[in-house]
Structure 1
Amino acid sequence: MKLDNISSLGGSVSEELVPSRYALQVGEIDVLVVSDGVLPLPTATMSTNVDPDVRAAWFRDMFLGPDAFDWALNVLVVRSGDQTILVDAGLGGQFSGFPRAGQFPRRLAAAGIDLASITDVVITHMHMDHIGGLLVDEVKNRLRPDVRIHVSATEVDFWGSPDFALTAMPTPVPDVLRSTAQQFMKEYGGKLRIFEEEYEVAPGVLAWRTGGHTPGHSVVRVTSEGERLTFAGDAIFPVGFDHPDWHNGFEHDPEESVRVRLRLLQEAAATGELLVATHLSFPSVGRVAIDGDAFRWVPAIWDY
C-alpha cells in the first residue's frame, strides 16, 4: 500500500471521475482513507436538542438541507509493519434504497488492496454503517480465515440487549441495527479479539474505548516518528465543530457523547494532530483549531 504503488494504479482500474481514496503517511505508517459512499439522512438527526429554526439556519449557512443531506461514510486502511488493518467496513445491504453507499469493497480493489491481505479489522462500534460491509458475500468470502477482529468488550455486551431510550433515530433504524449486530456476532463471534479499555493492534496503532456514541465506541490513534492521526469514528460530526453540545439522534448517551467530543476536539487542537472521522466529508483529513468557545475544522491541503 505504499503511496507510489497506489498512485500508479490510477488509470488502469477506476472509472470514477471523483476520487474515492486518499493516501498519506504518518511517520512510517501508511494510511488510506476510503470512501464507502454517501447516504441521505434527515437533518433533524443532527441536532435533536436545539430549536428547529436554529438547526435549519446552520444547514442553510452550510448550503445543505433543509430536510435531508448526504451523510459521508469513510473507512480507514492502515499498514504498520507486516499488518494491514481495516478500520470499520461501511454499510452493507441491510437497508435498501442506499445505492450510493456500500462502495468500499470495489474501491479497495481499485486501490490495489486485496481483502485477503487484511490481517486485522478494528470496529469502532457495531452500528450497521460500520459493520455492514463485513456481511456482504464479496467481503466475507474473501477475508482470510485467521483475520483478527478487534472490538471493545463493552460494545459486545451492549449489543446483547441494546438500549435505544435516549436515541432519536428514524423509525425503522433500531430494528435493523439490532438484526445487523446479531448477524455480525453470528458470522464473526469466533474471530473477535476483545479488549477492555485500549489495545495496541499493531506497532503505533492503538484502539481505545471512549464510550458516548455507544457504550463501547472506540477510536483509533496512529502514531509514528512524532506524527499522529486519530480516526474518531462517530465521536465527531460536521456540526460538532461549531456546536459540540448539539446531540446526534444516533447517540445512545448524548450527554456523554458531548463530553467525549469536547475532549477529543480539545486534544486535537492542542496537539495539532491530523483528524479523520467516519462522517466528515471525504477525504475527512484535517486539523482542529480553537474558535472562541467552539472549534474550527481546517481541511488538509490535498497532496497530489
Structure 2
Amino acid sequence: MAFSRRTFVSTIAAWPCFACLPQQVFATAEVGTGILTTVSDGHLVLPGSFLFDPMPNDELVPLLAEYGLSKEQLDPPCNLALYRDDEKTVLFDAGSGPDFMPTAGKLVDSLDAVGLAPDDVTHVVFTHAHPDHIWGLLDEFDDPLFTGATYMMGRAEWDYWWNPETVNTIGHARAAFAVGAKRRMEAIEDQVEFFDDGQEILPGISAVASYGHTPGHMSFELRNGAEAALLVGDAIGNHHVAFARPDWHSGSDQDMEQAARTRMRLLDRLAQEKMLMVGFHLPDGGMGRVERADEGFRFVGGNQ
C-alpha cells in the first residue's frame, strides 16, 4: 500500500492569505482503486484534566515526560478522513465549524487545498456527535455546509443525542455538547440514513461498533481487494496514554470502562493484522500503524 507520511500541499504556499492559515499536514494512502486522505480541521486546546483526571498520577507523569507532554494542557490535532474513488467522495465527520474553538474549524480551507469544495462531497459519515465532529455540519449562517451530500450516522448514536433526556443526564460539563448536536441533527433530519454495527454502509465501507467514547461511536473499515484501513475516530483518542496504557480510564470518554475495552480490542486487531489506521486526534495527519510495546502498544506514524 503506497503511503506518504507528510504530504504537504505545496500549492497553498502561493495563496495571498497563506500567512493567515494554519500549517496543513495531509497524509495519503491508496486503498485498492480508492484514495484515502486526511484533511486538517486545525486543533483543539484542552485542559489536561479533561483526559487525565481518572489516571494514576504517579505513573502518568513519567509517561507524559517520555512524549514531551504537559499534564496541564493538550493541543490535539483534528484529522478528518476523506475517501475518494470513481463514484464517491466520502468525508468522515464534519469538523468543528465556526462556533466551537478558534483553533479549529479549518476544514473548508483544507478541502480547498486538495482541490475540493464542500459541494463535491457526496457522503458525510459520522463517527459520533461530539462538537469537533458534527458542529461543522452548519456554516456561519447556520445553513448545511455540504449541500449535495447524503448524511449517515449509526442508529444508536443518533438515538442517544436525539433523546430529549440526554441534555439532562449527560452532566453539566457536556450539556452544551447535547444542545449543539441536537440542533445540527435537526438540520439534516430529513436527509440522514442510519446504519448498524457490521453493516456495509457504502460499497467497500463497513461500520464497526466502537462504543464507549460515546454510546454509539462507530469506526469504519475500508476494504478494496486485499487492502484495508480502519478509521477509528475517537475510539483511540491520542498517541500517548491511549496506546501505552489502553486499559486506563480517560476522562474524555462517556463510558470509561467500555471505552477501555474497545481501545484494547481495536489496538489488538490493528497490531495483529498490521492494518493501516486513521485516528482523528493522532499526529502527522493521523495515519499510521500499531505495534506492540511493553505492556501496551505504540503508534507508528507515516511510512515507518
CA contact (8 A) 1:200 1:206 kept: yes
CA contact (8 A) 1:80 1:204 kept: no
Q: Which residue of structure 1 lines up, in the alignment, with residue 235 of structure 2?
A: 235
Which segments of structure 1 move beyond 4 Å, counting only runs of 4 or more? 6-14, 138-142, 163-167
TM-score by length of 1: 0.87
Aligned partner of 1:115 among 99, 115, 118: 118
CA contact (8 A) 2:54 2:251 kept: no
Q: Which residue of structure 1 lines up, in the alignment, with residue 77 of structure 2?
A: 72
Q: Any idea what the Cα deviations from partners look like across 1:125-148, whole Å, max 9, x if unmatched?
A: 011110011122479455234x21
Q: Give the direction of change, closer, same or farther, for the CA distance of 1:138–1:298 in structure 2 (3 Å limit).
A: farther
Q: Which residue of structure 1 lines up, in the alignment, with residue 131 of structure 2?
A: 128
Q: Is 1:46 aligned to residue 46 of structure 2?
A: no
Count of equivalent residues: 291
Q: Which residue of structure 2 lines up, in the alignment, with residue 209 of structure 1?
A: 209
CA contact (8 A) 1:163 1:252 kept: no
Superposed counterparts of 1:91-110, under 5 Å: 91-95=96-100, 98-110=101-113
Superposed counterparts of 1:1-304, under 5 Å: 9=11, 12-13=14-15, 15=18, 18-95=23-100, 98-137=101-140, 140-145=143-148, 147-159=149-161, 160=163, 161-162=165-166, 173-237=173-237, 238=239, 239-301=241-303
Q: Any idea what the Cα deviations from partners look like across 1:258-295, whole Å, max 9, x if unmatched?
A: 11111110000011111111111131111111123311
Structure 1 range deviating more: 269-278 or 246-255: 246-255
Separation in structure 2 between the aligned mates of residue 129 and residue 192 of structure 1, nearest angstrom: 19
Separation in structure 1 between the aligned mates of residue 213 and residue 72 of structure 2, nearest angstrom: 23
Separation in structure 2 between the aligned mates of residue 210 and residue 292 of structure 1, nearest angstrom: 24
Q: Give the direction of change, closer, same or farther, for the CA distance of 1:253–1:17 in structure 2 (3 Å limit).
A: closer
Give the secondary structure class of the aligned counterpart of 1:214: coil
CA contact (8 A) 2:49 2:72 kept: yes
Letter in 2 for 1:201: I
Shift of 1:73: 0.9
CA contact (8 A) 1:21 1:111 kept: no
Give the secondary structure class of the aligned counterpart of 1:198: coil
Identity in percent: 30
Shift of 1:165: 6.6
Structure 1 range deviating more: 195-204 or 78-87: 195-204
Separation in structure 2 between the aligned mates of residue 101 and residue 124 of structure 1, nearest angstrom: 18
Shift of 1:175: 2.0
Letter in 1 for 2:133: H
CA contact (8 A) 1:215 1:252 kept: yes
Separation in structure 2 between the aligned mates of residue 17 and residue 263 of structure 1, nearest angstrom: 34
Give the secondary structure class of the aligned counterpart of 2:300: strand
Shift of 1:187: 0.6
Shift of 1:41: 0.9
Letter in 1 for 2:42: G
Give the secondary structure class of the aligned counterpart of 2:75: strand
Runs (5+) with no aligned partner, structure 2: none
Separation in structure 2 between the aligned mates of residue 277 and residue 199 of structure 1, nearest angstrom: 21
Give the secondary structure class of the aligned counterpart of 2:181: helix
Structural RMSD (CA): 2.5
Separation in structure 2 between the aligned mates of residue 69 and residue 10 of structure 1, nearest angstrom: 27
Give the secondary structure class of the aligned counterpart of 2:212: coil
Separation in structure 2 between the aligned mates of residue 221 and residue 206 of structure 1, nearest angstrom: 5
Separation in structure 2 between the aligned mates of residue 203 and residue 55 of structure 1, nearest angstrom: 42
Give the secondary structure class of the aligned counterpart of 2:270: helix
Give the secondary structure class of the aligned counterpart of 1:189: coil
Q: Give the direction of change, closer, same or farther, for the CA distance of 1:29–1:189 in structure 2 (3 Å limit).
A: same
